[in-house]
């Protein structure tokens, strides 16, 4: 398996809108495995293909303590949203920045697995937050985009300052 490079802001490629997956072959399976390895290594509980500069509609998620319950959602679509929850979010593409984001508390999502088989599932709490966070990436949206202009400006300033210090 291969560890993939994760893009970080201000890389404009993170704003790319991902295309639907149409070919479900061994290559896709290998890519999904590489995404999982990269996510576990980061470490993270989710990762979208956009973040590794592959602009297809594929995300991987594993919120389990034991890191043994991987989910791969291909061509995912949220078909129902209910309620509201606020959760402190971070992002592997926005290192060192954390902020509270408001999202739906319960969602119904339909998706395909690596074989192309259709599924539908309900999610709440952290899984719902993670799925919404990852599906945002497929639309070129990062969690900072949900913040007020002032908070987003302050976060970007902090990011730019850290980027300068690390040069
Ligand atoms: O997309 C990503 O960068 C992975 C995200 C997923 C995520 C963000 C906010 C809330 C839930 C999931 C994170 O970087 S994974 C890091 C992390 C680890 C434990 C709890 C929350 C976030
Ligand atoms: Zn993220």
Q: Is residue 146 part of a domain?
A: yes
**Ligand 2 centre and the CA of 45: distance in Å?**
10
pLDDT at position 120 is 98
CB 89 within 8 A of CB 129: yes
Q: How many folded domains does the chain comprise?
A: 1
Predicted structure pTM score = 0.95
pLDDT at position 166 is 77
pLDDT at position 164 is 83
Answer whether residue 151 shows pLDDT above 80. yes
Reported confidence tier of residue 165, pLDDT bands at 50, 70, 90: confident
CB 90 less than 6 A from any atom of ligand 1: yes
Listed range (125-129, 145-149, 161-165) with the worst mean pLDDT: 161-165
Reported confidence tier of residue 107, pLDDT bands at 50, 70, 90: very high
Instruction: Find, among 53, 49, 62, 61, the residue nearest to 20 by Cα.
Output: 49
**Ligand 1 centre and the CA of 52: distance in Å?**
15
Q: Between 165 and 111, where is the model more confident?
A: 111
pLDDT at position 160 is 85
Would residue 134 show up in a list of annotated catalytic residues for this protein?
A: yes
Q: Is residue 41 part of a domain?
A: yes
Average pLDDT score, the chain: 96
User: pLDDT, tens digit, for every residue of 26-49?
Assistant: 999 999 999 999 999 999 999 999
Q: Is residue 2 part of a domain?
A: no
Answer whether residue 140 shows pLDDT above 90. yes
Q: Is residue 90 part of a domain?
A: yes
**Ligand 2 centre and the CA of 119: distance in Å?**
23
Q: Is residue 152 part of a domain?
A: yes
CB 45 less than 6 A from any atom of ligand 1: yes
Q: Which domain holds residue 51?
A: 12-166
State the CATH number of the domain containing residue 72.
3.90.45.10
Q: Which of 54, 66, 134, 162 is catalytic?
A: 134
Residues in the chain: 167
Q: Is residue 20 part of a domain?
A: yes
pLDDT above 90 covers a percentage of the chain that reads 92
Whole-angstrom CA distances from 147 to 88, 107, 151 are 12, 21, 6
Answer whether residue 24 shows pLDDT above 80. yes
């Amino acid at each position: 398996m291969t560890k993939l490079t994760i893009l970080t802001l201000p890389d404009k490629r993170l704003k790319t809108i991902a295309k639907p997956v149409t070919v479900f072959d061994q290559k896709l399976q290998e890519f999904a495995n590489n995404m999982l390895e990269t996510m576990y290594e980061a470490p993270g509980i989710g990762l979208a293909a956009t973040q590794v500069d592959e602009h297809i509609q594929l995300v991987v998620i594993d919120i389990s303590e034991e890191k043994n319950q991987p989910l791969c959602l291909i061509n995912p679509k949220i078909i129902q949203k209910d309620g509201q929850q606020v959760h402190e979010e971070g992002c592997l593409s926005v290192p060192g920045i954390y902020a509270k984001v408001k999202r739906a508390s319960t969602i119904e999502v339909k998706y395909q697995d690596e074989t192309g088989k259709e599924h539908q599932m309900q999610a709440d709490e952290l899984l719902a937050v993670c799925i919404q966070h990852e599906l945002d990436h497929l639309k070129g949206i990062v969690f900072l985009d949900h913040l007020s202009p002032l908070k987003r400006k302050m976060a970007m300033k902090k990011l730019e300052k850290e980027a300068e210090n690390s040069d």
